[in-house]
Structure 1
Amino acid sequence: MRALTDLRWNNVGALSALSLAVGLWWLSAPSVAQKAQGKAPPPVPVKVAPVVVQDQALSLSAVGQVQASQQAVVRARIEGLLTEVRFTEGQVVRQGQVLARLDDRSLRAQVAQAQGELRRLQAQLDLAQLELQRTQGLVAASAVSTQQRDQQQAQVAQLQAQVQSQQASLSQAQTQLSYTVITAPFTGRVGLRQVDVGNVVRPTDAQGIVTLVQTQPLVVVFHAPQTRLADVRRATQQAGGAVVTVAEREGGPILARGRLQSTDNAVDAGSGTLKLKAELAPSGDRLWPGQFVTVDLSTGAMPGALTLPAKAVQRGLRGSVAWRVVQGQAQMVPVQPRWQSDAVVVIEPQPDGLKAGDLVVVDGQSRLKPQASVKVLDGTGAARATRQP
């Protein structure tokens, strides 16, 4: 009996020791829930850029099309057989230079016939005028009646009218003959020949013989959205026209410069844009009519502007915001844009807003929330240290 009692007391002591050990472990080690609650999320990788104060040049960028200042389809003005082509495709020709000739034998014969008829009538007129002079002398001597003199005067007037009519016929025949020689209406570059020697050409031919374009100077036509009409108005008010630069693509090398020449008289109701035209300085053969280019129109300047990259500005239901990085944390800052382009945004200075030198996020905003921890990456994607205020 005593042995049984001792065994019970031994079991109770063992259980007490085990409970004490479990309690000490529980107090010394944090629970799984406590671990999960105390673990912070990893920092969000972002790329940043500084806010700067600078003299910001204002410009308007658009896609434009290069056009010739003059363009003409060279056609025959009369129907005839094409006998000669005197240009090379792509050649630069001068105004008045002969481009083609038509068969002119029939028209030359008509001119010769009209000249002969004119000489015949002129001879009859000369004879009638001499006869009128003699008749007037005889009338003075009362040798003939005044009726004969009046008849002679009428005959002279009739012959004068016939001579005048024949001169018009001769002029018309000579004009028709001149149409057999096709010349360049202005200095420019010819395109591809549309018809070969031996074909009959007509004034109604849609493609004509060749297309001629004036490539010096060229013009560029582009469109400005109606939201930028204030910028366009400033550009048109600049003396001599606002400066225009043309590049093959955005950010590419400048191919030509020019001046804003004119604007359309109304905004297009379908697209909501205003058409503008600029004349370009001679640029050699770097631009061709019909080529699409990127146009940059200078609309003025904004000195001492507070600017940040356009990628840093996000727009939502409550307006525009930017994310500022301060001591490794993200802060959402409202911004009020004054002017913007595809590259930069000029904002209004505000007491609690962005200031020069602030770092704003330009990539990685989608994962940010206020007070989120961030890791700033450099251009290669590696983390870098940031200067803390």
Structure 2
Amino acid sequence: MTFFRQIPLVTCALLLAGCGAAQPPATEPEPLPVEVVAANPQGDAGAISAVGRIAHQREMTLAFRVAGTLARLDADIGDRVGRGQALAALDARDLVARVAQAEGDVRRSERAAARYAVLSESGAVARARYDDERTALDQARAALRAAAFDRDSAQLRAPAAGVVLERIAQAGETVSPGQAVLRIADTASPLLVRLPVPEGQLVRVRSGAAARLTAGDRIVTGTVSRIGAQVDARTGTAEVEIRLSDARGLVSGMTGTVEIDAPAAGGAGIAAIPAEAVLEAKGSQAALFLLDRQTQRARRRIVRFVGFTGDEALVAGLPAGAQVITSGAGFAADGQRVRVTGGVR
């Protein structure tokens, strides 16, 4: 009985073995189509070029701190002005009236305080009532000072000797507090060039580096005097300031091309690759895929991330002759077979 019970088990085992032998071997997925580019190495030195705007180091936009109708505007574009010179004025009749009312309130409070001082000394009124009148007098005097300050603010004066660059408002206009009326330059401050530098190139700029401005047919030398500490999130650039060696013949508002002598970011080994090749960028590291030409497979690699410049990313740590996967990199896995359909083969 035992022999017959074991026969079905042996038969099943043979059948299963036969089924396993009949299964075809697993096949590797089709190669992923990708495009590659050769990393573009950056030289150890070069020049950063950008269009800059010439301006005085100190240029100021003037506005009234109180609202009103612009009654007088005595300055125009190109006018030379002295420090403290009156440039514009508002119709201040309502402000003058407020001062007069505040002066009357002060006089009335002074009389009341004096009267209650006598009554308090004689005991006719409580000391607390006299203290209340003294507080009211202090408040009236503070209101007078505020009204006088507003009246004086109806005059717009030059904060420094200089030249009028722009006349923004016109007499007869009603202006709001802080609304620009005039823009002037302090001519005692030097003319500079300010230019936007992409964040990827900013690490190459050094304070004191030599620079050249080409404006029209003039070439003026200069040096980097200031490097912006913050990158504009909208433009991806930071402002760099160039102090010129000879600004004769140049005026505020002119533009020109500036070249700054600068070493490659971080020294040798920096390469420019299409920004789309960077899969992840966090801090000073970035991940990308390289093409292994011998095996035709994608190899994930971590490199040092320098920054973006236009449509390119600057990275360091790529081997010589590296071919970077661009299109298709987002679908690749480390070690996956790939098929190059475009770019460098």
The letter of the residue matching 2:71 is: T
1:130-209 correspondence to structure 2 within 5 Å? 130-135=118-123, 151-197=125-171, 199-203=172-176, 208-209=180-181
3-state SS in 2 of match to 1:182 = strand
1:340-359 correspondence to structure 2 within 5 Å? none
Residues in 2 aligned to 1:166 and 1:256: alpha-carbon distance in whole angstroms: 60
3-state SS in 2 of match to 1:87 = coil
Residues in 1 aligned to 2:94 and 2:243: alpha-carbon distance in whole angstroms: 47
| Residue 192 of structure 1, CA deviation | 4.3
| Residue 166 of structure 1, CA deviation | 0.8
- Shift of the 187–243 alpha-carbon distance from structure 1 to 2, 3 Å rule, reads farther
Matched, 1:129 2:117: yes
Residues in 1 aligned to 2:195 and 2:212: alpha-carbon distance in whole angstroms: 12
Residues in 2 aligned to 1:294 and 1:212: alpha-carbon distance in whole angstroms: 25
User: TM-score, normalization: structure 2?
Assistant: 0.53
| Residue 74 of structure 1, CA deviation | 2.7
- Shift of the 228–113 alpha-carbon distance from structure 1 to 2, 3 Å rule, reads closer
| Residue 65 of structure 1, CA deviation | 2.4
Matched, 1:263 2:236: no
Where does residue 268 of structure 2 map in the other structure? none
Residues in 2 aligned to 1:114 and 1:183: alpha-carbon distance in whole angstroms: 25
Is the CA contact 2:193–2:244 (under 8 Å) kept in the aligned structure 1? Answer: no
Structure having the higher helix fraction is: 1
Structure having the higher strand fraction is: 2
Is the CA contact 1:244–1:278 (under 8 Å) kept in the aligned structure 2? Answer: no
Residues in 1 aligned to 2:118 and 2:76: alpha-carbon distance in whole angstroms: 58
Counterpart among 294, 297, 315 of residue 257 in structure 2: 294
Matched, 1:245 2:212: yes
3-state SS in 2 of match to 1:209 = strand
Residues in 2 aligned to 1:169 and 1:274: alpha-carbon distance in whole angstroms: 47
| Residue 179 of structure 1, CA deviation | 1.9
- Shift of the 228–116 alpha-carbon distance from structure 1 to 2, 3 Å rule, reads closer
Is the CA contact 2:191–2:247 (under 8 Å) kept in the aligned structure 1? Answer: no
3-state SS in 2 of match to 1:133 = helix
| Residue 69 of structure 1, CA deviation | 3.2
Matched, 1:222 2:195: yes
- What is the count of residue pairs matched by the alignment? 220
Stretch of structure 1 that moved more, 98-107 or 216-225: 216-225
Is the CA contact 2:89–2:156 (under 8 Å) kept in the aligned structure 1? Answer: yes
String of CA shifts for 1:267-322, please: whole Å, max 9, x gaps: 9797xx7534124258556333332212132347xxxxxxxxxxxxxxxxxxxxxx
Matched, 1:85 2:73: yes
3-state SS in 2 of match to 1:191 = strand
The letter of the residue matching 2:104 is: G
Is the CA contact 2:194–2:242 (under 8 Å) kept in the aligned structure 1? Answer: no
| Larger-Rg structure | 1
Residues in 1 aligned to 2:245 and 2:100: alpha-carbon distance in whole angstroms: 48
3-state SS in 1 of match to 2:167 = coil
Is the CA contact 1:65–1:221 (under 8 Å) kept in the aligned structure 2? Answer: yes
3-state SS in 1 of match to 2:147 = helix
String of CA shifts for 1:226-251, please: whole Å, max 9, x gaps: 7756642xx24xxxx323332215xx
User: TM-score, normalization: structure 1?
Assistant: 0.47
| Residue 156 of structure 1, CA deviation | 0.8
| Residue 131 of structure 1, CA deviation | 2.9
Residues in 1 aligned to 2:232 and 2:175: alpha-carbon distance in whole angstroms: 40
Where does residue 97 of structure 2 map in the other structure? 109
- Shift of the 92–242 alpha-carbon distance from structure 1 to 2, 3 Å rule, reads farther
Unaligned residue ranges in structure 2 (runs of 5+):
1-43, 264-345
3-state SS in 1 of match to 2:97 = helix
3-state SS in 2 of match to 1:280 = strand
Residues in 2 aligned to 1:129 and 1:277: alpha-carbon distance in whole angstroms: 65
3-state SS in 1 of match to 2:211 = strand
The letter of the residue matching 2:220 is: L
The letter of the residue matching 1:220 is: V
- Shift of the 177–283 alpha-carbon distance from structure 1 to 2, 3 Å rule, reads farther
Where does residue 22 of structure 1 map in the other structure? none
The letter of the residue matching 2:211 is: V
- Shift of the 256–115 alpha-carbon distance from structure 1 to 2, 3 Å rule, reads farther
| Residue 100 of structure 1, CA deviation | 0.8
Is the CA contact 1:121–1:163 (under 8 Å) kept in the aligned structure 2? Answer: yes
Unaligned residue ranges in structure 1 (runs of 5+):
1-55, 136-147, 301-389
Is the CA contact 1:218–1:282 (under 8 Å) kept in the aligned structure 2? Answer: no
Percent identity over the alignment?
22
String of CA shifts for 1:62-108, please: whole Å, max 9, x gaps: 33222443444433333333332232421233443211112223322
The letter of the residue matching 1:65 is: R
3-state SS in 1 of match to 2:190 = strand
- Shift of the 296–122 alpha-carbon distance from structure 1 to 2, 3 Å rule, reads same
Residues in 2 aligned to 1:172 and 1:121: alpha-carbon distance in whole angstroms: 17
The letter of the residue matching 2:148 is: Q
The letter of the residue matching 1:294 is: T
